[in-house]
Amino acid sequence: DVEIKIESFKSNLNTVKKCLEEKDLYVSTLEAKIKNTDEVNHQQNLKIEKQEKANEENVKNIAYLMDKFKTFDKSVPVTDKFKCEKCDFETDSEKGLKTHTTRKHTILANGKYPKICDLCEKQFTNVSEMKKHMKTHSFKEVKFKCEDCDFVGESEFTMEVHIGKFHSEKYECGIC
**For 145-165, what is each residue's pLDDT tens digit?**
788 887 777 788 888 888 888
User: Considering the chain, what percentage of its residues have pLDDT values greater than 70?
Assistant: 77
Residue-level pLDDT at 163:
82
**Mean confidence (pLDDT) of the chain:** 77
Handedness of CA 46, 50, 51, 52 (dihedral sign): positive
Cβ–Cβ under 8 Å, residues 134 and 126? no
Residue type, 112: K
pLDDT at 105 over 70: no
**Cα(143)–Cα(94) distance, rounded to whole angstroms?**
43
Cβ–Cβ under 8 Å, residues 148 and 164? no
Angle of CA points 93, 96, 102, to nearest 5°: 145
DSSP three-state, residue 110: coil
Residue-level pLDDT at 97:
83
pLDDT at 67 over 80: no
Q: Which helix (H) or strand (E) holds 152?
A: strand 152-153
For residue 151, what are the contacts with CB-CB under 8 A and spacing of at least 6?
119, 120, 137, 145, 162, 166
Residue-level pLDDT at 100:
78
CB atoms within 10 A of CB 151: 20
pTM over 0.75: no
Nearest to 166 by CA among 114, 116, 117, 121: 121
The pLDDT tens digits for 73-97 are 555 555 667 888 878 888 877 888 8
User: Residue 43's pLDDT band (boundaries 50, 70, 90)?
Assistant: confident
